[in-house]
Each structure stands twice: as C-alpha cells, then as structure tokens.
C-alpha cells in the first residue's frame, strides 16, 4: 500500500480521507484532499507527500484547527503541482475570520504553480503572498465568493497572469490602485493579462485605473473584458488602459465605455438599462427585451449607435418583437433570433436594403414564425441557414435555389408541419443537410438532393425515409457521409440502387424493424470506411456475404445480443468482418 502512486477520488462523495495517508510517500497523483474535523484527516497529512504533481483540490478548509497544521502541509514544497484549488464551505462564524486569514497565509503554494483557485475564503484580507511577483508561472487565477473581503490583493504584479476571474465579493465598492500593486512606466501592471471577468459584485461601483493618466500603465494585452451582474457599476477603465481590447461584455448600466476598435457584446434586459453605447458597435446581443423592435432601434439611435455598423445580432427571449426589419442593417453578416414567442416574419417592412453581407441566419424556437420576404430571400452570400422548432406549413424561402447561390449548410429541426421543399428545389451548392423531426415532410426536393451534397443527416422523418428510392443519392458524386436515425418500418437496408460509391461513412441508429443488411446495396461501396449500427434490435445477423473490404471501422452499439455474439471471434458472422482492422461492440 505504501507504494501507491495514483489516488483519484473525484466524484466519490467521501467526507474523510483514508487513515495514515501521510505514509504514502511515493504518491504522485492525489486529485482531492478533504480536511476532516477534529483529529481525522488533518491537512498536515499532506506534509510528507513531496512527489505530488498535476492537480490538487483541498476541501473543507474551515476544519483546520490552527495555522500550525497549515504549515505542516508544506504546500510551498510541492513544486510539481500545476493546479491548486483551496475551498472553504460557508457559512463561517464571524469571530474566526482572523484565524482563517492566518490559515491561508500558511497555505502558500509553490512558485511553480500555473493555475490557482480560491473559493469561499472567509477572511477579511488576502495574504501578502497572493500577488507576489515571485509567482512568475501563474497564468490563471480565480477568486470566488469572498463574503467578508473589503479589498483585493495586488494581482497586477503577477506578470505571467493571462486569465483572471473575480466573483462574488459583496463588500467591495471600488477597485482601485491596490489591485495593481507597484507598477511603473517600465513594468506595467497585468503585463500579460488577456481575459478579465468580474461578476456578481453587488456593491461594485467603480473599476478605476492605477492612476489618473500617470506613468503607471496596465492591461497592455487585455483582449476580453467581461462585466456581469454588477448592478451598481457606473464606470469602467478608460481608453488608455485598454489598447488591445477587442471584446467588451456587460450586463449592467454603465455611464461610459472605452472606445475599443472592434468587437462589443452588450446584454441587457430592457431599455431602462441602456446608456450611451460606442459608435463602433460591432456585435449586439439582446436578451429579454420587453419592447418591440422599433423601440429597440429608436433606443439605439438615441444612444448614438448606428445600426448600419452592426455585423452580428442575437435576439433572444424578446417576446414583443414580431419581425426583423429589412433595409436597416446593411452590413449584417450573422443573425440569430431565438425563443421569441411572437416572432412571425424575417426581413419585413418596406426597406429596400440589400442582404449581400448576410452569411449566417438562424431562427430557433420561434414557434409561430412563418414567413420570409414575399419575393424570396435574396441573400447571395448566405452560407448557413438553420430553422428550428416552428409550425409553419411552408417554411423555407421561395426561389431559394436561385436566390441563395452560396448556401452550403441547411438545418431543419422540429419543423413539425413542413410538408414539402420549395418550388425549384434546393441550391445545388449545399454541402451539409440536416433534417430532424420533420414528421410531415413527404418527399425529397424537386430535382433530388443538391448535387454538391457531402453530408446528409435525416432523423425522425418516416414519410421522407419511405420515399428514399426517389432521393437520387446514387447520382451524387461527393456524398461521403450518411446518418439515418429513428426510422420506423424499414426492414431491409440499403436498396441496391440507393447509395453512391463515394460514401465513406454510414450510420444507422434506432432502426427497430431492421432485419437485414442488403449485401447488394453494400457491395459497390468501394469507398466505405466506417459502418455504425446502433439500437438495431431486430437485426439478428449481418449481410449474406462478407462486408466490403474497404471498411476500416465497424461499431455495434446497443444491438441485439444474438448479433453481438455472432460478431465475436468464432461467431457465425466473424468471417464476414474479420478483415476489418477496428471493431467495437458496445
């Protein structure tokens, strides 16, 4: 037992460690350590385990009796540990706060540490070592839920820090010079930081720079700034602190924003939370907006934001928005409308604006959506179209075979009343087509599936699958992947003239009535490398003959026990598959 080298107890729900853990001096991996109450599982047990490496999470730190046990744990001497988490369990009695300050002081880790997380620290002030420039390898730091802390440590002195997350410090009103530490014109604070997230700071009002425009500089490489659930926040960092900023995200009401050159993401619930926005707004995400689209556009105009500059718009859970206007967003390349209960039309109104910039359009969980522009959706550069969960009878845009000449991906999910494809069929440019849960869709597109199709997925479309001999797949020169799922009534597959020789991957999942694989439909598949059969409970044996020699991978998952037995070595079907290099029976 003393030679044990690996002890993984993640997700085991234990509350105490094994006795005499300190005797396992050769232990290399210890994922978690739970500090016990009284004399059981003392953190001092970690002391002799000098060979620990990788990740370690120490739980229940409130059970530490005194600083002496923390000293004996000797975390400082464990130089091979890369990632460390230190966790308390709230609530902690107020009269023990000073004691916990001392405990964390003596839990100082090795300076080789790369990733540190401190959770539910119950002290008033973090120890001096947190922020020490000697931690030159620390790249990721998370400080979460410090209920009694009134200020943050000098984290700006961590010159290698790339990601910093600070969350749930309810007593901090302003973040000021104490965060940056000793910086100068030659030694910038947060010199390597690329991503900063500050969240759930209920009293935070100000995020101040290190000085008022002086020599001390900070955040030269900061690319992402996320300010979430800080309801009292009024002011964040000025321009000179954020020369590299590309992503700014906030959910609060902020009086001023830095003028960063590229990406902005704003999330807000209603117009009362909107203040002045930057003129270079690139991306807008609107969630839970309780007014119409016209009200939103007027609010943006009043705040100095031009909708003509927007390139990406996400509208989520805005139940009063009924349509998305045309002629307003001339540079729009990505549009997502999700979970808007009254959304009916896309690109409505009298606008003559072009959709030449539109590359991606997704309309998701908008149950009553029914219409694109009357003359069709003229978006010559649209590459991705996804329609999900709607009850429209004629959902797809008219004349899409000619008006969408660049479309490469089409996804139709839970379009429960869609019966047919539009007149003229689908654009020949489509390479990936997914049709899922479209129960009423009866036949394939006019002229067959697109000639450039490479990947085809069809699931829960019984009427469409029943028409499979009219799909014209045999004529598709580039079709390489076919996934069929939840197909009722299919007893034999594939038919002799159904599949093209270009097919490389075939997956059949949930074919409850499938009784046989048709050898004649498989024998010409000279490119087939992957065959997967999942939940085909009626299939008791494989095809009559040996499966194609090109197959490199065969997977049987959750199939009839008799079939899996026949496919074992010395089984009745083994000679049909023994040439396949990789066989998985799950």
In angstroms, the CA 369 to CA 340 distance is 9
pLDDT at 269: 45
pLDDT tens readout for residues 162-200: 999 999 999 999 888 889 888 765 678 999 999 999 999
pLDDT at 307: 66
Q: Residue 4 — pLDDT band, cuts 50, 70, 90?
A: low
Q: Residue 511 — pLDDT band, cuts 50, 70, 90?
A: very high
pLDDT at 275: 42
Reported pTM: 0.66
- The dihedral built from the CA positions of residue 416, 420, 422 and 425, taken in this order, carries a sign that is positive
Q: Which stretch, 387-391, 452-456, 493-497, has highest mean pLDDT?
A: 452-456
Q: Residue 271 — pLDDT band, cuts 50, 70, 90?
A: very low
Integer-rounded Cα radius of gyration of the chain? 31
Lowest mean pLDDT among 99-108, 132-141, 334-343, 570-579: 99-108
CA 485 to chain centre: 25
Report, in this order, helix, strand and coil percent for the chain, each rounded to 5. Answer: 15, 25, 60
What number of H helices and E strands is found in the chain?
A: 8, 31
In angstroms, the CA 568 to CA 137 distance is 52
Hey, how many other C-beta atoms are within 10 angstroms of the C-beta on 38? 8
SS3 576: helix
Write down the mean pLDDT value for the chain. 84
Q: Which of 418, 378, 416 is nearest to 396 (CA)?
A: 418
Strand ranges, E, within 467-510: 481-485, 492-493, 505-509
Q: Which of 471, 459, 530, 461 is nearest to 495 (CA)?
A: 471
pLDDT tens readout for residues 533-570: 999 988 888 888 888 999 999 999 988 888 888 889 88
For 13, 126, 169, 184, 188, the CA distances from 215, given in Å and listed in that order, are: 52, 27, 29, 6, 9
Q: Which stretch, 6-15, 137-146, 485-494, 552-561, has highest mean pLDDT?
A: 137-146
pLDDT at 196: 94
Strand ranges, E, within 32-150: 32-34, 53-59, 80-87, 115-119, 140-144
Contact between 260 and 238 under an 8 Å Cβ cutoff? The reply is no
User: Would you say residue 274 has pLDDT above 60?
Assistant: no
For 359, 393, 423, the CA distances from 399, given in Å and listed in that order, are: 18, 16, 7
Q: Which of 44, 73, 52 is nearest to 8 (CA)?
A: 52
User: Rounded to the nearest 5 degrees, what angle is found at the Cα of 71, between the Cα atoms of 67 and 77?
Assistant: 155
Contact between 550 and 570 under an 8 Å Cβ cutoff? The reply is no
pLDDT tens readout for residues 339-366: 999 999 888 876 556 788 999 999 999 9
> Mean pLDDT over residues 203-219, rounded?
75
pLDDT at 108: 95
39 Cβ contact list (under 8 Å, min separation 6): none
User: Rounded to the nearest 5 degrees, what angle is found at the Cα of 550, between the Cα atoms of 546 and 554?
Assistant: 70
């Amino acid at each position: 037992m003393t030679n044990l080298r690996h002890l993984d107890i993640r997700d085991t729900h234990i509350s105490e460690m094994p006795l005499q853990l300190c005797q396992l001096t050769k232990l290399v991996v210890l994922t978690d350590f739970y500090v016990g109450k009284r004399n059981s599982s003392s953190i001092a047990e970690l002391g002799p385990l000098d060979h620990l490496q990788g990740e370690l999470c120490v739980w229940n730190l409130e059970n530490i009796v005194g600083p002496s046990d923390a000293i004996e744990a000797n975390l400082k001497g464990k130089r091979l540990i890369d990632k460390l988490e230190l966790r308390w369990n709230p609530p902690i009695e107020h009269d023990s706060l000073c004691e916990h300050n001392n405990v964390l002081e003596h839990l100082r880790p090795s300076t080789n540490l790369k990733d540190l997380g401190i959770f539910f620290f119950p002290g008033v002030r973090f120890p001096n070592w947190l922020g020490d420039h000697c931690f030159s390898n620390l790249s990721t730091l998370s400080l979460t839920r410090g209920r009694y802390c009134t200020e943050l440590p000098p984290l700006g002195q961590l010159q290698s820090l790339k990601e910093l997350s600070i969350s749930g410090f309810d007593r901090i009103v302003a973040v000021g010079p104490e965060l940056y530490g000793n910086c100068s014109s030659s030694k910038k604070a947060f010199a390597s930081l690329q991503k900063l997230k500050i969240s759930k700071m209920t009293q935070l009002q100000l995020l101040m720079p290190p000085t008022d425009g002086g020599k001390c500089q900070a955040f030269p490489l900061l690319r992402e700034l996320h300010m979430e659930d800080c309801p009292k926040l009024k002011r964040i960092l000025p321009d000179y602190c954020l020369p590299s900023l590309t992503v700014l995200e906030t959910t609060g009401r902020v009086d001023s924003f830095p003028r960063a050159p590229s990406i902005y993401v704003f999330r807000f619930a209603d117009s009362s939370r909107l203040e002045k926005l930057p003129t270079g707004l690139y991306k807008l995400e609107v969630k839970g907006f309780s007014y119409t689209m016209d009200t939103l556009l007027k609010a943006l105009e009043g705040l100095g934001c031009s909708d003509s500059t927007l390139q990406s718009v996400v509208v989520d859970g805005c139940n009063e928005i009924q349509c998305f206007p045309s002629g307003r967003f001339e540079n729009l390349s990505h549009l997502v409308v999700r979970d808007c209960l009254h959304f009916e039309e896309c690109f409505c109104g009298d606008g003559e604006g072009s959709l030449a910039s539109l590359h991606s359009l997704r309309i998701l969980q908008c149950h009553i959506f029914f219409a694109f522009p009357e003359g069709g959706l003229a978006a010559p550069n649209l590459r991705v179209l996804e329609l999900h969960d709607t009850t429209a009878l004629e959902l797809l845009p008219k004349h899409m075979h000619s008006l969408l000449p660049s479309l490469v991906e089409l996804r139709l999910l839970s379009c429960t009343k869609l019966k047919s494809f539009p007149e003229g069929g689908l654009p020949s440019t489509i390479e990936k087509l997914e049709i899922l849960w479209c129960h009423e869709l009866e036949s394939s597109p006019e002229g067959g599936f697109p000639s450039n199709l490479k990947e085809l997925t069809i699931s829960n479309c019984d009427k469409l699958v029943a028409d499979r001999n009219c799909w014209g797949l045999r004529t598709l020169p580039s079709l390489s992947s076919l996934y069929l799922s939840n197909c009722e009534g299919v007893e034999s597959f594939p038919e002799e003239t159904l599949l093209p020789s270009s097919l490389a991957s075939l997956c059949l999942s949930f074919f409850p009535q499938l009784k046989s694989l048709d050898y004649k439909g498989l024998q010409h598949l000279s490119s087939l490398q992957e065959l997967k059969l999942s939940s085909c409970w009626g299939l008791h044996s494989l095809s009559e003959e040996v499966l194609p020699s090109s197959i490199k991978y065969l997977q049987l998952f959750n199939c009839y026990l008799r079939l899996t037995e026949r496919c074992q070595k010395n089984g009745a079907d083994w000679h049909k598959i023994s040439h396949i290099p990789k066989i998985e029976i799950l």
